[in-house]
């Protein structure tokens, strides 16, 4: 194969039923094409069942190292698996291909049944690339950074286990916007606009739109509505009252906050590059996943 990529990473969701057979099928295809393979160490794979000749092509590594070693990473799982990989690869600008093994599959567009056929074309350059902006967040306590994280979908400020509303102030580019009393606030990228933000009443943002949305979670005042801001904006949130407050990153990592702690949120310097099949259409995906009506004429 005259592939654009020579070093291919494979990441899986281990709990997926029959995932080992899918991994083996993918490995066999990539080895037949003479490509180097880097497999996530947590992937459910028994190498004793494979020929010894495969060993020189296959390398078991931690997912955190894939950005340094791979030209491309293939994710076998759902959107959640891809989100976790995206945060690891973002500093290295390594593109991703998602093979759908989950539920909704907004990001993982390659169907499992056509995996080998689709990948054969995509590795030769037959794909639709898409750049997705990401969020970078610093947690500040007394003007000192105490935590830092990236997010592809959203950064969510929320109440914890006590169930009490929290109070906070929001600033955009240093300008005071509002004080809010609510269950929290979702700062979403266009990618995350079809996730938690959508369920909370936020707008769907086209993926290539250079913007973020701020979506209140059950605000006490009905006048608190979602707003969209340019992706060059710096968003700052200060906790003014809350005994049990957390910030979540893509729903997969979190950090506990105290009163007067601040979140500083901005666009990350690198966009995530996702490769889709050539017939990928965003609004077709929305129709399928959200069960919108079909075209009548």
CB 240 within 8 A of CB 262: no
Lowest mean pLDDT among 16-20, 193-197, 215-219: 16-20
Spatial CB neighbours of 47, under 8 Å, sequence gap ≥ 6: 54, 55, 58
- What pLDDT does residue 160 have? 79
**Does residue 1 form part of some domain?**
no
Residues 158 and 82 in one domain: no
- What pLDDT does residue 232 have? 97
Distances (CA, A) of 15 to 20, 48, 73: 10, 21, 19
**Does residue 2 form part of some domain?**
no
Whether 192 shows a pLDDT value over 90: the answer reads yes
The CATH number for 64's domain is: 3.40.50.10330
Q: Residues in the chain, how many? A: 297
**Does residue 295 form part of some domain?**
no
**Does residue 297 form part of some domain?**
no
Total of domains in the chain: 2
DSSP H helical segments within the chain, as ranges?
19-32, 66-69, 79-89, 115-123, 196-199, 282-290
**Does residue 26 form part of some domain?**
yes
The CATH number for 242's domain is: 2.60.200.30
| Per-residue pLDDT tens over the stretch 110-121 | 988 899 999 999
Residues 146 and 226 in one domain: yes
**Does residue 50 form part of some domain?**
yes
Whole domain around residue 173: which residue ranges?
135-267
Is the four-CA dihedral 102, 106, 109, 111 of positive or negative sign?
positive
Instruction: Please give the full DSSP string across 87-98, using - where no structure is assigned.
Output: HHHGGGT--EEE
**Does residue 117 form part of some domain?**
yes
Residues 141 and 261 in one domain: yes
Mean pLDDT of 65-73: 95
Residues 216 and 277 in one domain: no
Residues 27 and 103 in one domain: yes
- What pLDDT does residue 238 have? 98
Residues 111 and 69 in one domain: yes
Is 250 among the catalytic positions? Answer: no
Residues 38 and 145 in one domain: no
Residues 148 and 113 in one domain: no
Residues 175 and 231 in one domain: yes
Lowest mean pLDDT among 20-34, 35-49, 183-197: 35-49
- What pLDDT does residue 294 have? 75
Residues 162 and 244 in one domain: yes
Measured between alpha carbons, how far is 275 from 225 in angstroms, rounded to an integer?
Answer: 34
Residues 144 and 101 in one domain: no
Residues 195 and 109 in one domain: no
Candidates 32, 71, 79, 142; catalytic one = 79
| Per-residue pLDDT tens over the stretch 128-138 | 999 999 999 99
């Amino acid at each position: 194969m005259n592939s654009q990529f020579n070093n291919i990473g494979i990441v899986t969701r281990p709990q997926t039923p029959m995932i080992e057979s899918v991994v083996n099928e993918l490995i066999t295809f990539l080895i037949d094409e003479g490509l180097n393979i880097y497999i996530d160490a947590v992937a459910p794979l028994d190498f004793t069942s494979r020929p010894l000749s495969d060993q020189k092509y296959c390398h078991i590594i931690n997912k955190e190292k894939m950005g340094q070693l791979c030209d491309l990473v293939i994710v076998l799982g759902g959107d959640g698996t891809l989100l976790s990989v995206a945060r690891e690869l973002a500093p290295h600008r390594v593109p991703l291909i998602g093979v759908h093994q989950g539920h909704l599959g907004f990001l993982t567009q390659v169907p499992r049944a056509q995996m080998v056929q689709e990948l054969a074309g995509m590795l030769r350059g037959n794909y639709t690339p898409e750049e997705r902006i990401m969020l970078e967040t610093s947690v500040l306590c007394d003007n000192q950074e105490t935590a830092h994280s990236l997010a592809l979908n959203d950064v969510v400020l929320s109440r914890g286990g006590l169930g009490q509303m929290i109070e906070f102030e929001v600033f955009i580019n240093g300008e005071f916007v509002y004080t809010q009393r609510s269950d929290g606030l979702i700062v979403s990228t266009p990618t995350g606009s079809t996730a938690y933000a959508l369920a909370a009443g936020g707008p769907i943002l086209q993926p290539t739109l250079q913007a973020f949305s701020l979506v209140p979670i059950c605000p006490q005042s009905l006048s608190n509505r979602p707003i969209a801001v340019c992706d060059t904006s710096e968003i700052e949130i200060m906790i003014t009252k809350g005994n049990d407050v957390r910030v979540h990153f893509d729903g997969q990592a979190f950090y506990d906050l105290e009163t007067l702690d601040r979140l500083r949120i901005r666009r990350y310097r690198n966009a995530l590059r996702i490769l889709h099949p050539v017939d990928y259409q965003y609004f077709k995906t929305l129709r399928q996943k959200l069960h919108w009506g079909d075209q009548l004429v």
